[in-house]
Amino acid sequence: MGEVYRARDSRLGREVAVKVLPDRLGDGSDALERFHREARAVAALSHPNILAIHDVGEANGKSFAVMELLEGETLRSRLAASAIPPRKSVEYSLQIARGLAAAHERGIVHRDLKPENVFLTSAGYLKILDFGLALLAPGALPADLSRSPTAGTQPGIVLGTAGYMSPEQVRGRPLDHRSDLFSLGAILYEMLTGRRAFHGDSAADLLIAVLQQDPMAGNTGTQIPPDLARIVAHCLEKEPGERFQNARDLAFALEAWQGESPTPPSGPVTSVPPEASIAVLPFRNLSPDLEAEYFSDGMTEEIIAALSGVPGMRVAARTSSFAFKGKDTDVRQIGHELGVRCVLEGSVRKAGQQLRVTVQLIDVETGYHIWSERYDRRMEDVFAVQDEIARAIAGKLEPRLVRSSAPLVAPGTENVDAYNLYLKGRYYWNLRRPREAIQQFEAAIAADPDYAAAHLGLADSYSVWGFYGGISTWEAYARARVAAERAQELTPDAADVHLSLGLIEHYFGWNVEREEREIRLAIEKAPKSADGYFWLGLCLGCQGRVEEATEVSRQAVALEPHSANIQAQYGWCLMYARRFAEAIPELRKAVSLDEKAGFPVWSLGIAYQETGAYDDAIRTFERGVEITQGNHSFYMGLLGGALARAGRAEGAQRVLAQLRDRSAREYVPPFDLAAILAPLGRTDEALAALEKAYEERNALLWFRIYFPVFDPIRSNPRFAALAARLARTAPVNSPVTHDGR
């Protein structure tokens, strides 16, 4: 769009190109907006593979832009002569990918990438032209360049060039940066073969071809090297989630094909990971129902569990892999941070009883796709698909590791409906939403009463619910124990059973010897699982065995370096010794790993509170209430106590009133009320609430009464009597007893 003239910038003494909007278009608001949008987009970028713009303005009623002057030809002109050799095609594509990466990182999607908009300079550089149809994300441009709307297109409107548009672009659906990667795939195909990727006699035929044709089907006679053909095919996937997820990953794959040595990611040098080491990234949910994310997460967990059972294979733990969920992280960085040689990416589309699973195994050092596969099955085949994927991966990494034909995936049920409900329960459990999790686990058990994993999920959910409030502690204790003991009947040697029994003792049983024994049995049966070390660290720390707890927590961090909860437990090792100021940096790190993880949030709030940073504590506890949508009285008690200690009695009274009002509708642990009453100076009420908490066996009361929030009433004889009763029930030498400071 526009007429381009060669000109000379007399001020700087350089040759430039001036693009002028013709008179016939200058009065059209759409054309004028396109012109200004292109100017704003290019002005926001500075990259050697993107045409530079020097100035924009208006003179004598004509809009113009001053750009760098290019000498050479468009890629379309070059393709008119012949196909381009593979190495040169990759070189050109690599430059396009690097330019796109720069644009995408600024929130700019080109939306009209085609050979006409790619320029080959006589100096050998490649430049991306014409951002007139660019889609600009909110905040993509500096404020002073955002004088008019930039979002671009209303749903259902198709913009672009037939034959190079992505399928989502053809359908007029919302799109993102991955649309440009499809267009680049079509260009690379054309450079390699001398033929366009999609064929049709009309524009309408071309649009249909983009939706239906597979240019890589039967790749005979095209002379595309197999490894390069896989890169092209990956760009041209119909679903955005099945393509390269960012331009830098594509550039990395192209660099690897060239035989270059990619620049290693920044950060500390780590040891060379073993060949048979892998991170399974969270599978992307491509289902029409966005709530089906529970299923894609569950598939990921099943593959992780299956591969973890292969002797000699090192698999990044679930929490570490899920730390990259929804993030656009380069596979090299992932491999570097998790210390693995390979990454498995995948996507799941679930529609009714139909299931499509697409996976690709990537070598993080070279960027090569070692293996990829697509499975189109029915839901009843889900367990077979999981086993096929796990077996294929193990075979590719180290065939000797798979010594038998026995299934690697042990589903625990043959009832697909029960399995689906169980995955929903696990999804809610991971979000620490125990009420919803319990509903799903109970439904799974109704579908298959012998489903051990569902019984364990039920036990763990009741344990957490009883701690955070909303169900009476005795009821939570009883229901959790019944569920865990049923799971033990079904799978007596499972590590998860022992861990679940240990959790029940931790929260409600108050038998620390039995708790420690069960958790150590879980570690013995699953030594590569960080969960056992995490809970053992809590068990030891609560008993005052701080040095042991610290060592165990280090082991947990080594196994799960990206787990917010485990990092928070390391912070607690300092808090056990009342070293609250030192704990704050560790707990901040934990919160940065997952801002929605409750345990790190309330732990950080306590550390702030005990250093006198009451405003920070209050903001942190308010964040905890927000995360849980106000459903957990535990956080309300912490917030009210912090307000009281900060001298904000009115706010504390308000939170206390809210909890008492809630107690008319659901169970509120008396301990949560006592945590507000004590610092408010309402000693008799606080002591009465603590005595009631003892009778109702509020979770972890035996440890929590030593929190400094109760220092104001600690010298009261009634408090001393309660502490003595608790010591007889759960003997412990607590490291957080008041020491007079």
| CA 377 to chain centroid | 27
Q: Identify the active-site residue in 55, 112, 205, 616.
A: 112
3-state SS of 130-146?
CCCCCEECCCCCCHHHC
> CA 426, CA 206: separation in Å to the nearest integer?
45
* Residue 9 contacts residue 66 (beta carbons within 8 Å): yes
* Residue 96 contacts residue 128 (beta carbons within 8 Å): yes
* Residue 108 contacts residue 175 (beta carbons within 8 Å): no
* Residue 510 contacts residue 729 (beta carbons within 8 Å): yes
> CA 623, CA 629: separation in Å to the nearest integer?
10
Helix spans in 159-263 (H): 167-170, 178-193, 203-212, 226-235, 247-258
Strand order in the sheet with 118-121: 72-74, 118-121, 126-128
Bridge partners of residue 344, in order along the sequence: 280, 361
- The dihedral over CA atoms of 220, 222, 224, 226, expressed in degrees to the nearest 10, equals 0
> CA 484, CA 501: separation in Å to the nearest integer?
6
672 tagged catalytic: no
DSSP secondary-structure letter at 667? Answer: B
Residue 677 three-state SS = helix
| Tokens, residue 10 | 């007399």
* Residue 487 contacts residue 451 (beta carbons within 8 Å): no
Which of 704, 723, 710, 722 has its CA nearest to residue 542? 704
Amino acid in the structure at residue 8? R
Bridge partners of residue 719, in order along the sequence: none
Amino acid in the structure at residue 365? E
| Main-chain phi, psi angles of 638, to 5 degrees | -65, -45
Structure-token match 């499509």, residue found: 356
Note every long-range contact of 92-96, with CB atoms under 8 Å and residues 24 or more positions apart, other chains counting.
92/118, 92/120, 92/126, 92/191, 93/184, 93/187, 93/188, 93/191, 93/254, 94/251, 94/254, 94/255, 94/258, 95/49, 95/125, 95/126, 96/49, 96/126, 96/128, 96/184, 96/187
Residue 60 falls in which region: left (phi positive, over 0), alpha (psi -120 to 50) or beta: left
Catalytic residue numbers? 112
